[in-house]
Each structure stands twice: as structure tokens, then as C-alpha cells.
Amino acid sequence: MQLVLNADTYDVVIRGIVPEARRFLWIFTADLKDLFTEHEGGRFVPFLQTLAGKLREGVEIRLVHAKEPGPRFREDFDRFPEFIESDAFERILCPRMHMKIVIADGRKAYVGSANLTGAGMGAKSETRRNFEAGFVTEDEEHLRGLMAFADQFFVGDFCEKCQRRKFCPEPIR
């Protein structure tokens, strides 16, 4: 286990776990905004560019979020046809989803408070960031349990008893 606090979230998750994914990447976040990340040459690009690159590499991506992202995120999303054309990209919107999890290849996972936003995970200055705390694990037992739970959620096992179905814009089941 590794404790991850504040700005370390960016280094550990965005610069570490995400690039390490070779087979699949599962991202669960309550809030989803136009997160920008440092790219080659020190320039900043939409995180969606990184995810589109992962899709081109053959990495399967599950993105689960709780509310519709803002207009700038949607504009960036539309710039990358991989998200529409790739069978390796799956997205679910669930208003009750509040988890913040990133899992790469079933080998490493981040579980914590940070949403997929600039203030949560982004390369923001210390004075413009949220205060965040989480853990990274490579423990096989933890990963098995976390992945089983995330997979149950993803396939809709919790939908029937949710009691918010009439408010759900895209029921899984």
C-alpha cells in the first residue's frame, strides 16, 4: 500500500498508473471535467488525448461517472473519434456512483477522494488544488475484491435495487 496525498495524486495516477496500462484501464469518478495533463515537451493537453492514445494502443477503457461533464470536456471528447468508433471504450453515467478508482490491468489500483478533474488529479498549483487522500495497492486480494465490486457495478448488478432509477438518464439494466 502506498499513501497518496494532494499533488502526489497527479504523479502517481496520471503519470504512473494510467501510462502503465497495457490491457485495460477502469476509471470511476463522480465528477468529470476538462482535466489537462503535461505531455511531451512540457505542453498541456486534454487528458482525453491520453485516453484516446491508450485506445489506439489497444487498451480497453471503462469510464464511469456520476454526472454529465461540462461543455469543454464534451468539446474535447468530440475531437477524438476513438471514443465513438472503438469497441474498446465503454462509458456509463450513474448519478449514484461516487467512487474514485483507477485500475490498470488488474495489477495496480488507486482508491481515494480525487475526482477526474483538474483540481482533483490535475497538474494544478498547490493553491488551486483540492485536498485529496488515497491509496495505491498492488495487493492481489485487494485488487480481486475491488475489481469484482467494480465489475458488478459496471454490469448493472446494483441497478434493480437502486431506488433512483426514475432519475437515471442511462440505466445500465
Cell numbers given for 1? 500500500
User: 63-101: b or e for each residue (b if 16 or more CB lie within 10 Å)?
Assistant: bbbbeebeeebeebbeebebbeebebbeebbbbebebbb
Domains of the chain, earliest start first: 2-167 (3.30.870.10)
Higher pLDDT, 144 or 120: 144
The average pLDDT across 140-165 equals 90
Q: Over the stretch 133-143, which tens digit does the pLDDT of each residue have?
A: 999 999 999 99
Q: Give mean pLDDT, residues 14-31.
A: 96
Residue with cell 474514485: 100
Mean pLDDT in residue range 86-95 = 93
- % pLDDT > 70, the chain: 99
Band of residue 160 on the pLDDT scale cut at 50, 70, 90: confident
Q: By three-state DSSP, how is residue 63 classified?
A: strand
> Residue 158's pLDDT is what?
85
